[in-house]
Amino acid sequence: MKRITLGILLLSLLFTLLSACGKERQGTLTVYAGLYEDHAIKAIETFQKQTGIKVNYVRMSSGEILARIRAERNAPKASIWYGGPADTFIQAKTEGLLEPYNSKQAESIPPEYRDPDGYWTGIYIGSIAFVSNKTWLQEVGLQAPHSWSDLLKPEYRGMISMADPRSSGTAYTTMATLVQLFGEDEAFDYLRRLHRQSIVYTTSGSVPGRTVGMGDSGTAVMFAHDALKYYKEGFQDLIISFPNEGTGYEIGAVGVIKGGPNQKEAREFVDWALSKQAQDLGKQVGNYQQLTNPDAVPPEEAIPLEKLNAIPYDLEWAGRNRERLIQKWTTRVLGLGDE
């Protein structure tokens, strides 16, 4: 009888341990992060500490995240897409890759910064800018650019850096801005002429800021908040300017990946990411975006859209036309493949 009782106790203990392990696995989220690495780490560490939910993350550019989610659509490995321009989220929504979630926290976010059906919600805002190296400008006798046409001047040939819209949300926001500003035909004529300036294309939208800061490029087209980060990190030659004709902007978003594991924990992450506390974390690690939660306090250095000649950027249009415009850029600007 004692042996039977002991056996039952051992089996009970084993069952309890296995159940605990199962719960731990269920509580582990995988996040695809479009934020800066330091921002993603700070946010995830804080979320884990406050909720006890373990998180794994992979840092990628927005186009890379979209491609990964597509590839995994039949067996998703991640549950959360965290950061990067919302127009890429809109494309993912049209392809059935996201799960709608109407978080209670989203009710405090202004309607223009969230999807009405809950497929994504904005967490920050950032504007497209010209970022130049002051020393280089002085050497070639130029002022900081204040017009899109300035980048077509002979002095800029071989000295412009920007990201590739096939991988970068920053670059796609730039392209969609130009199309909305000038019309599609004129915008693509401009992009072809800009390409003939021997542009250095990068995978990530923030990398051009480093090349300009180091003097390897003269000017970059990128988000202003990324340039502010590099400036604060020691690249004191950086100058930020904006095109007189108008500039566009991103709404950085968070959303739930359709069919991903741990949907309950994923929704809890979205709730947390929309909170004042979560949005206030960015400035602690040197990130300078405007924020979407009205109670959150943006960094003093952040540049409000109200101070810029910002176009009425049509986010929905940009998201729904993303695939078509990128294909057109690939064929008409790079001369690759068929349109």
Predicted confidence (pLDDT) per residue in 100-136, tens digit: 999 999 999 999 999 999 999 999 999 999 999 999 9
Angle, CA 209 vertex, CA 318 and CA 174 arms, to 5°: 15
Structure-token pair, residue 124 = 């920050």
Structure confidence at residue 15 (pLDDT) = 36
- Residue with tokens 């010209």, as numbered in its chain: 130
Helices (H) and strands (E) counted in the chain, each on its own, are: 13, 11
Place of tokens 């979630």: 101
CATH number listed for the domain at residues 126-249+319-333: 3.40.190.10
Instruction: Tell the CATH superfamily of the 27-125+251-306 domain.
Output: Periplasmic binding protein-like II (3.40.190.10)
Angle, to 10 degrees, between the axis of helix 169-182 and the axis of helix 86-94? 90
Predicted confidence at residue 18, as pLDDT, reads 36
Sign of the torsion formed by the C-alpha atoms of 111, 117, 121 and 122: negative
Matching fold, domains 27-125+251-306 and 126-249+319-333? yes
The greatest distance separating any two alpha carbons of the chain, rounded to the nearest whole angstrom, comes to 95
Mean pLDDT on 164-184: 97
State the residue for tokens 């068929």: 338
What's the one-letter identity of residue 181? Answer: L
Mean pLDDT rounded to a whole number for the chain: 92
Domain ranges of the chain: 27-125+251-306, 126-249+319-333
One-letter amino acid of 301: E
Which amino acid, residue 241?
A: S
- Is the pLDDT confidence value at 316 over 90? yes
3-state SS assignment for residue 313: coil
Q: What is the pLDDT of residue 28?
A: 86
State the Cα–Cα distance between residues 331 and 80, nearest whole angstrom.
Answer: 32
Lookup: tokens for 156: 């800029």
- Between helix 169-182 and helix 62-71 the angle, nearest 10°, is 110
Output the pLDDT for position 339: 57
pLDDT band with cut points at 50, 70 and 90 for residue 44? very high
* pLDDT(27) > 70: no
User: How far is residue 133's CA from residue 215's CA, in Å, rounded to a whole number?
Assistant: 6
Q: How many CB atoms lie within 10 A of CB 46?
A: 15
